Structure 1
Amino acid sequence: MNHKNKNNHLGRKYGHRKSLLSNIASSLIKKKRIFTTLAKAKTLRKYIEPIITKSKINTIHSKRNIFSYLKDKEAVSELFKDTFHKVRERSGGYTRIIKTGFRFGDQASYSLIEFVDFNEIYTSKKRVKSIRRSRKKHSSNNNNE
């Protein structure tokens, strides 16, 4: 049974998992989107969303707290720049996971994880309206007269 097991340990011990998530999170902050396995992406979402919530408060204390998670000065400074202003305005749900298929080598399910506000396709103001067509009821029963 899998009761009370909320964390995916990713087949690694605590120190390795902590450094893996720290490195992937700093890569995501720098590049805005990365490709990784689905299990790592889901675990990364739970790891990085509280960090982004903490970055809403622009103080030295919050920068030091975030640095204790990320261990990367460039990623922390990128997180507090004006480019992340749109991300900080959101109330939650900062990342999006898109399944892209399977990895060639071992057939692990592969996915793209990205920040929601940095995708130009989804955030463009100009959206195409879908045409709604009403279904006409065909009276096939009336032809039996």
Structure 2
Amino acid sequence: MGRTTSHRWAMLRNLVTSLLEHEKVKTTDAKAKELRPLAEKMIGLGKRGDLHARRQVLTVVRKAEVVRKLFDTISPRYQSRNGGYTRIVKLGFRSGDGAPVSIVELVTEGKEAKGLKKRRMGKRRRKEKGPAEATKPEAPASRP
């Protein structure tokens, strides 16, 4: 990403802290791809919930209130999920320099489940209507 190691590490730590604090962050595609594995690891450590995991998170996330939020509210959301805690949504290109921009956000269970339920109901309705329409006799074609 064109930065020194210390600058890159500081930037990624700030991005992870912002992501966990706001649950969504807008950044370039390259930064988003670098951010994702680190954020996934922090949430995985939050799921463990022991003192050693908390200390490991504190080496990356420097705000104590964000660490508290991670362990108390964010991690319990994903107890039944094995990975895939974040999503990258591509937005297009930035107007100033043309850099590809994305949003990195934490996946929420409620939105996905709601969307899947609607899709399933739609498929069922189509299946039920399909055979009923097929059994209707067609009207004979009339010639003008």
What TM-score, normalized by structure 2, do the two folds share?
0.76
Q: Which amino acid aligns with 2:112?
A: Y
State the identity as a percent.
35
CA contact (8 A) 1:55 1:88 kept: no
For residues 121 and 59 of structure 1, the distance between their equivalents in structure 2, rounded to whole angstroms, comes to: 29
For residues 72 and 93 of structure 1, the distance between their equivalents in structure 2, rounded to whole angstroms, comes to: 24
1:97 to 85, 88, 95: 88
Q: 1:24–1:105: structure 2 CA closer, same or farther, 3 Å change rule?
A: same
How far did residue 50 of structure 1 move? 1.3
How far did residue 58 of structure 1 move? 1.3
Q: 1:43–1:92: structure 2 CA closer, same or farther, 3 Å change rule?
A: same
Matches within 5 A, 1:81-92: 81-92=72-83
Aligned residues: 123
Whether 1:75 aligns to 2:60 is: no
Look up the match of 1:41. 32
CA contact (8 A) 1:96 1:115 kept: yes
Q: Which amino acid aligns with 1:85?
A: P
Look up the match of 1:14. 5
CA contact (8 A) 1:54 1:62 kept: yes
Q: Deviations over 1:89-144 (max 9, x none)?
A: 310111100101101110000011111126x54342642425578xxxxxxxxxxx
Look up the match of 1:4. none
Residue segments in structure 2 that go unaligned for 5+ positions in a row: 131-144
For residues 88 and 14 of structure 2, the distance between their equivalents in structure 1, rounded to whole angstroms, comes to: 18
Look up the match of 1:124. 114
For residues 16 and 38 of structure 2, the distance between their equivalents in structure 1, rounded to whole angstroms, comes to: 8
